[in-house]
A and B are shown apart, each in its own frame.
Chain A
Amino acid sequence: DVKVTQSSRYLVKRTGEKVFLECVQDMDHENMFWYRQDPGLGLRLIYFSYDVKMKEKGDIPEGYSVSREKKERFSLILESASTNQTSMYLCASSPTGGNIQYFGAGTRLSVL
């Protein structure tokens, strides 16, 4: 079974803090994704990566950055957290040429 692990289920941070959300997958997938999910808006793509050290902006990249130093790990970084970044963050992975994405359990981030 594909396993996508997100380091934290719940996080509470203060405005202005730098926040790291970590995601690790164990299926040697090339593609990794970060989404945020908000009520009524569905999942929105923040960033994705098709290879190590490669990244592409999704639909809502403002206020976020990412890092992919190793194939299995994809990190989402909030440089200076703001209250409007309070959300559920979901990481996903998929193999090259595969359209099916497998999701981690999610991190619910609250920025106070």
Chain B
Amino acid sequence: QKEVEQNSGPLSVPEGAIASLNCTYSDRGSQSFFWYRQYSGKSPELIMFIYSNGDKEDGRFTAQLNKASQYVSLLIRDSQPSDSATYLCAVMYGNKLVFGAGTILRVKS
């Protein structure tokens, strides 16, 4: 069984702080990793993807991948109340995308 684990939270951070979201996965052979954001009652939307070890930055978002330790993380700098959502980590296993249960992020103004 391919697994993707996330802390369900909620993770609470003050406005302007860095939010750090973490995800671990079970299969060392995985090559593709994704972060989706899901607002309450809405569908998931892709915010970042990463294929190689190291960091990938896009605006206030940085995805970090460590294949040796089998974890992927998402950093959100200068967190805003509008970042409050559930963040889903997803890992490609073969031809299937397996999702974690998501971490609830709350940014307090």
Contacts and interface: CB of A to CB of B under 8 A. Distances in A.
Contacts of B100: 42
Interface residue SS majority, chain B = strand
A33 B44 CA distance: 14
Interface in A7-58: 33, 35, 40-45, 48, 58
Nearest to B33: A99
Contact of A100 (B8, B43, B49, B102): B49
A101 B97 contact: yes
Contacts of B98: 45
B45 A42 contact: no
A105 B43 contact: yes
Contacts of A59: 96
Nearest to B89: A42
Interface residues of B, number: 19
Interface in A39-87: 40-45, 48, 58-59
A99 B49 contact: yes
A41 B5 CA distance: 11
Contacts of B43: 90, 103-106
Contacts of A99: 32, 34, 49, 92, 97
Interface string A88-112: 0010000000011111111000000
Contacts of A48: 96
B99 interface: yes
B34 A43 contact: no
Contacts of A104: 43
Contact of B44 (A40, A41, A103): A103
A42 B88 contact: yes
B42 interface: yes
Given A33-B97, A101-B46, 4 more contacts: A45-B98, A58-B96, A104-B43, A105-B42
Interface of B: 4, 8, 32, 34, 42-46, 49, 88, 92, 96-102
Interface of A: 33, 35, 40-45, 48, 58-59, 90, 99-106
